[in-house]
């Protein structure tokens, strides 16, 4: 049997070594920050972060899981970035929305998060320089595209910098924690739609009210003992609520994709995605002609979404994701060919693919 005191002394010695190495790493990070400032380079480089995570996971021999390693280094990198240049991140608030959770997953807890009231406000905050980056939802695996985010790209000059995939798990929260006390339910329309069957089965006669966000619903319920909110477990901690029921979403494979937006897309990495927006007239064979350049250049399209243009009748806007970076010749050539046969084409950014 090993001596407990000796084991603890060994752990303390390792902790001291980790502390020393972390501070050595921090000194190097500060030097990187000075080099970036002198060269006017971007402080946030998502491709570099992705390389770090992938290398660490390849080299990880356990017993820590890769997920644990990523979480640990997420905070190390976040704290390091704050030494280089504190980042301000705008998101759809208030605190504890799923967008807020996506921000934490991407930037760690050392970033300065700026909650705003709408997706349009996220774009505006970044455009006017009030935040370095913004995080907005773009699509859900159950409910599909978030059209308001898509519409914002029509007039905005902001670029997509990165994407974040977040597993969405909804909980029913209330002040008392008893389902019998619930007389009304509040949440965001997307969350309500994702829990529609559960609500019909378990709270069939309870009215469901829409709010601007799941976190706002939690805020409201904190002052209403006869109400409940559909929100995250994180929201329960933030707003001092009790969990009535966990995981009430109808589809357990429920993910939302978020986009990080900024003023400049990152340089090419090892595994990139490019997003474009284009418009065509509603006529026979139009979409076939639009997609032909990508087929000819052997480019894999990962998503295509359409919606009517608000400013012109019978003309349609398409949002398209493809594998590859705009700096790669075959991607650039395909987009150049697309531009010749469209009403307009707009490259929204090239950025590292999220797994």
Do 346 and 297 share a domain, yes or no?
yes
Known active-site residue 255? no
Residue ranges making up the domain that contains 222: 172-244
Q: Are 182 and 203 in contact (CB under 8 A)?
A: yes
Q: What is the CATH number of the domain that holds 315?
A: 3.30.70.260
Q: State whether 164 and 176 are in the same domain.
A: no
Q: What is the mean pLDDT of each run of 10 residues along the chain (355 residues)?
A: 85 95 93 84 85 93 93 92 88 90 94 93 96 94 84 92 93 94 94 94 95 92 94 94 95 91 90 91 78 93 83 75 95 93 91 87
User: 93 and 65 in one domain?
Assistant: no
Does residue 187 belong to any structural domain of this protein?
yes
In this prediction, residue 124 carries a pLDDT of 97
The reply to whether 279 falls in a domain is: yes
Look at residues 84, 99, 126 and tell me which one is the last residue of a structural domain. 84
Three-class HEC string of 146-167: CHHHHHHHHHCCCEEEEEEEEE
Mark whether 104 and 33 lie in a shared domain: no
Residue 129 within a domain: yes
Q: Considering the candidates 91, 107, 258, 294, report the single residue annotated as catalytic.
A: 258
Same domain, residue pair 102 and 77: no
Domain's final residue, options 262, 290, 324:
262
278 among known catalytic residues: no
68 CA to centre of own chain: 19
For position 82, what pLDDT does the model report? Answer: 87
pLDDT at 197: 95
Same domain for 213 and 152, yes or no, is: no
Residues 115 and 150 placed together within one structural domain of the fold = yes
If asked whether residues 276 and 345 sit together in one domain, one would say: yes
In a domain, 73, yes or no: yes
CATH number, position 232: 3.40.190.10
Q: Of 24, 59, 84, which residue constitutes the final position of a domain? A: 84
In degrees and rounded to multiples of 5, residue 278 shows phi and psi of: -145, 160
Residue 99's pLDDT is what?
93
Q: Which of 211, 256, 274, 278 is catalytic?
A: 256
Q: Is the distance from CB of 210 to CB of 188 less than 8 angstroms?
A: yes
pLDDT of amino acid 312: 65
Domains of the chain: total:
4
Task: Identify whether residues 41 and 74 lie together within a single domain.
Answer: yes
CA distance 164 to 351: 11
- Verify that 67 and 103 share a domain, yes or no: no
**Does the residue 249 lie in any domain?**
no
The structure tokens 């644990």 sit at 68
CATH code of the domain in which 10 resides? 1.20.59.10
CA dihedral 129, 133, 134, 139 (to 10 degrees): 140
In this prediction, residue 313 carries a pLDDT of 60
Does residue 30 lie in a domain region?
yes
Both 152 and 208 in one domain: the answer is no
| Alpha-carbon dihedral sign for residues 125, 128, 132, 137 | positive
Please check whether residues 162 and 176 belong to one and the same domain: no
pTM to 2 decimal places:
0.87
**Residue 250 is assigned to a structural domain of this protein:** no
Q: Where are the alpha helices (DSSP H) in the chain?
A: 4-39, 46-59, 66-84, 98-107, 119-127, 147-155, 189-194, 196-202, 214-221, 233-238, 286-296, 329-339
Pairing of strands 88-92, 112-116: parallel
pLDDT value, residue 314? 55
């Amino acid at each position: 049997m090993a001596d407990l005191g000796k084991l603890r002394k060994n752990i303390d010695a390792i902790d001291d070594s980790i502390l020393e190495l972390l501070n050595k790493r921090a000194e190097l990070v500060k030097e990187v920050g000075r080099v970036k400032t002198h060269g006017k380079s971007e402080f946030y480089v998502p491709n570099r972060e992705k390389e770090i995570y992938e290398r660490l996971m390849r080299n990880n021999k356990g017993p820590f899981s890769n997920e644990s390693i990523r979480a640990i280094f997420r905070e190390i990198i976040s704290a390091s970035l704050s030494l280089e240049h504190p980042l301000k991140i705008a998101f759809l608030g208030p605190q504890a929305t799923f967008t807020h959770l996506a921000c934490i997953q991407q930037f760690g807890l050392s970033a300065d998060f700026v909650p705003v009231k709408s997706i349009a406000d996220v774009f505006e905050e970044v455009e006017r320089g009030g935040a370095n980056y913004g995080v907005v939802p773009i699509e859900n695996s159950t409910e599909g595209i978030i059209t308001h985010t898509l519409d914002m790209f029509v007039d905005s000059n902001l670029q997509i910098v990165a994407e974040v995939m977040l597993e969405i798990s909804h909980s029913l929260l209330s002040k008392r924690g008893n389902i019998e006390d619930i007389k009304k339910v509040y949440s965001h329309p997307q969350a309500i739609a994702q829990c529609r069957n559960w609500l019909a089965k378990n709270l069939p006669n309870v009215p469901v009210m829409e709010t601007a966000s799941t976190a706002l619903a939690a805020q409201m319920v904190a002052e209403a003992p006869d109400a409940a909110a559909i929100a995250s477990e994180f929201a329960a901690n933030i707003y001092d609520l009790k969990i009535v029921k966990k995981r009430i979403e109808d589809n357990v494979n429920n993910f939302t994709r978020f986009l990080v937006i900024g003023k400049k897309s990152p340089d090419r990495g090892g595994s990139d995605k490019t997003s474009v927006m284009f418009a065509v007239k509603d006529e026979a064979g139009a979409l076939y002609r639009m997609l032909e350049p990508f087929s000819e250049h052997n480019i894999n399209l990962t998503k295509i979404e359409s919606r009517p243009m608000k400013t012109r009748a019978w003309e349609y806007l398409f949002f398209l994701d493809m594998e590859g970076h705009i700096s790669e010749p075959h991607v650039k050539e395909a987009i150049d060919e697309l531009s010749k046969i469209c009403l307009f084409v707009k490259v929204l950014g090239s950025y590292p693919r999220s797994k």
